[in-house]
Structure 1
Amino acid sequence: MELAFVPLRRADFALLSRWLTAPLVSRWWAEPADLESIEREYGPRVDGTDLAPTWIVHLEGRPVAMIQWYRYSDEPEYLAEVGQFLPVPDNAVSIDYLIGAESAVGRGVGPAMIDQLVRLQWEREPDTGDAVVPVHADNRRSWRALEKAGFEHLTDAELDPDNPVDDRRHRIMVRRRPPR
């Protein structure tokens, strides 16, 4: 599967707004999707003042998904919350992702983009550790994509949900960084 990771640009904000309002995305990614909110959240990433690299994923030349990578050390409150259930080293990372194009759902894009990004970022950032990704227990598509990308379910946790309609049940998925 030919995937390309293109750094997020402001020109992508309208597309991201449409994706965030799509039913399959908005169910799990409950954040404002108006352009002003997207500018507030993602503008600093485009400008390089937020340290979470974010990409639009292209499949065969078409934008189909978004994925972002961040270090737990840049998110101390989240590190403390997740760290109650699993030791999370300072050099651990996490990812967030969504498939916005319905035509890409069910085609293996999720596992492929997760796997490719993790391997690519470990190569680019050799000081990073394991990838630790909490996922709501009911979001089966998401945690199955992680499993297919080499993650394992290490523990369950009670964490604040991304969507306020959800309870706190999460699965913490981990992909161990191979020894260097």
Structure 2
Amino acid sequence: MSEANDQEVVLEETEEVEEEPAVHVIQEIEEEPLVAQQVTDAITAYRKVREAGKEISEKEKEQIDKECKVIQEREVIEIDPVHEPKEMLPTGKVKVQIGPPTLTRFEKARIMGARALQLSLGAPPFIPIPKNARTSLDIAMEELEQKAIPITVRRVLPNGDYQNIPVEYFD
């Protein structure tokens, strides 16, 4: 037998150690002191603005104190409710509620450009072609002047509310 076979193989036994589950420490951030600090900072800034480095009378100081107390007692709105955009429908005589009652130059340009493209791609015109029309843009302009284009303009307010206005409604 060879020496390599004669050597004794020693296996080290290791102890299995169970890992303890990780403990997550969650610190709750107290928002009340934060809000109170922000209100205090706002009141301090308000006082500085009102006093503006000038001497004020006792009566003015009392007025500022009253205003600061009103500020401090206000309810703090932390979460602004989500506004769902909705369509504004025309009511009564007023058909165009958002923006001017006429098409803006940008809306006119957009409508005429889109309609001229449609005409140049072979769409049928909505009016008889004028004798002085040389391009599809001339036909689109005439269609817009006669309000023959069945296009709706969407005007949107910053809060997401919108109004879909047919071209016929514009002056």
Q: Greater strand percent: which structure?
A: 1
**Alignment TM-score, normalising by the size of structure 1:** 0.19
Q: Which has the larger radius of gyration?
A: 2
TM-score, normalised relative to structure 2: 0.20
